[in-house]
Amino acid sequence: MGLQVYIDGRFVDEDDAKVSVYDHGLLYGDGVFEGIRVYNRRLFMMDEHLKRLYNGAKVIRLEIPMEPGDLKDKVRETVRINDISDGYVRLVVTRGKGDLGLSPSKCADPNIIIIAATIKIYPEEVYMRGLNVVTVSTRRNNPDSLSPQIKSLNYLNHILAHLEVLHAGADEGLVLNDGGYVTECVVDNFFIVVNGVILTPPTNAGALNGITRLVVFNLAKEHNMEIREENLSLVECYTADEAFLTGTAAEVAPVTHIDERPIGDGKPGPFTTRLMEAFKELKENYGTPID
């Protein structure tokens, strides 16, 4: 028997976890999702992820058919049933089954899907040597058209950018906005360190206000590191002393090369290393127990 997936109000084997071909999450990318990490049988930043899920659903007028507390318990149950001690939860809410028309009004019952499994984005040596990042030509969606604060199921903009990363043989990609400023990486938030100050693009430039991004802001303040939001040009990134990225799956990872240019001395820097260590300590001791 494989992993047990919560879908359509019940647990089923992963091979039997199916959605209707008329589900608007499939047909139109109409829905929201969250990725949540599990460390030491604890759900990391669970409440923050749920808050963002419900906020995103509210913006697109998608009513999640479960109260936050009940959904939290169902996520815990999914992790527990699959005996995941360290892993990843993908929590998805689709608009539900409708017809071939675009209108959400034909979708009566939103569908909740919870998958608990394991995940590893980068091999361990990447955290020692750093990531090789390239700038992609695909621009981030204009926030006035589609807010980056909505983690919607429509990820084509990110996929197009990731295809460029794959073609370049790189680890990640920097994505610019219409003004030519850095927004974030393809699926991670981006930071640089200049003269002892940590800088990251503001959310109104097109960056997702990531959960791990918020954790890094808190950790930086706890360790008396100055951190602020600021529009970043590629020149500023190329000439930075350090660079790193953050994400639920990637955690905190050093960036040592951008567009074939070494950042600093081409090795993970002291600010990045301290934040990586602080994050590791936090994740091992903080979270919502699944038992």
- One-character DSSP codes across the chain: ---EEEETTEEEEGGG----TTBHHHHH--EEEEEEEEETTEETTHHHHHHHHHHHHHHTT---SS-HHHHHHHHHHHHHHTT-SSEEEEEEEE--B--SSS-GGG--S-EEEEEEE---SS-HHHHHH-EEEEE-SSPPPPTTTS-TTS-BS--HHHHHHHHHHHHHT-SEEEEE-TTS-EEEESSSEEEEEETTEEEE--GGGT----HHHHHHHHHHHHTT-EEEE----HHHHHT-SEEEEEETTTEEEEEEEETTEESTTSS--HHHHHHHHHHHHHHTT-SEE--
- Together in a domain, 131 and 275: yes
* Residue predicted with more confidence, 172 or 145: 172
- Together in a domain, 96 and 134: no
- Together in a domain, 51 and 90: yes
Confidence of residue 217 (pLDDT cuts 50, 70, 90): very high
- Together in a domain, 163 and 183: yes
Asked, for residue 11, whether it belongs to a domain, the answer is yes
Of the chain, the percentage scoring pLDDT greater than 90 comes to 92
Q: Tens digits of per-residue pLDDT, 221-278?
A: 999 999 999 999 999 999 999 999 999 999 999 999 999 999 999 999 999 999 999 9
- Together in a domain, 128 and 236: yes
Which residue, 85, 54, 89, is CA-closest to 69?
54
- Together in a domain, 32 and 73: yes
- Together in a domain, 129 and 264: yes
Q: Tens digits of per-residue pLDDT, 37-71?
A: 999 999 999 999 999 999 999 999 999 999 999 99
Asked, for residue 274, whether it belongs to a domain, the answer is yes
Catalytic residue among 97, 106, 120, 151: 151
- Together in a domain, 142 and 255: yes
CATH number for 13 = 3.30.470.10
Of the chain, the percentage scoring pLDDT greater than 70 comes to 100
Asked, for residue 246, whether it belongs to a domain, the answer is yes
Asked, for residue 290, whether it belongs to a domain, the answer is no
Give me the pLDDT at residue 144, please. Answer: 87
CATH number for 227 = 3.20.10.10
* Residue predicted with more confidence, 148 or 77: 77
Respond yes or no: is residue 51 known to be catalytic: no
Last residue of one domain, picked from the residues 117, 139, 164: 117
User: Is 90 exceeded by the pLDDT of residue 122?
Assistant: no
Give me the pLDDT at residue 2, please. Answer: 87
Give me the pLDDT at residue 259, please. Answer: 98
Which residue, 110, 141, 149, 148, is CA-closest to 30?
110
Asked, for residue 196, whether it belongs to a domain, the answer is yes
Last residue of one domain, picked from the residues 117, 137, 166: 117
Give me the pLDDT at residue 172, please. Answer: 97
Amino acid, res. 174: L
Last residue of one domain, picked from the residues 78, 97, 117: 117
* Residue predicted with more confidence, 118 or 160: 160
Confidence of residue 114 (pLDDT cuts 50, 70, 90): very high
CA 26 to chain centre: 20
- Look up the domain containing 32 and give its range: 4-117
Distance CA 138, CA 201 (A): 17
Q: Which residues of 85-99 are buried (b: 16+ CB within 10 A; e: fewer)?
A: eebbbebbbbbbbbe
- Together in a domain, 268 and 149: yes
Q: Tens digits of per-residue pLDDT, 88-109?
A: 999 999 999 999 999 999 998 9
Give me the pLDDT at residue 123, please. Answer: 85
- Together in a domain, 40 and 180: no
Q: How many residues does the chain have?
A: 291
- Together in a domain, 131 and 253: yes
Asked, for residue 291, whether it belongs to a domain, the answer is no
Amino acid, res. 229: E
Give me the pLDDT at residue 37, please. Answer: 97
The total number of structural domains that make up the chain: 2
81 near 11, Cβ under 8 Å?
A: yes
Asked, for residue 289, whether it belongs to a domain, the answer is no
φ, ψ of residue 131 in degrees (nearest 5): -95, 145
Asked, for residue 288, whether it belongs to a domain, the answer is no
DSSP designation for 250: T
- Together in a domain, 92 and 133: no
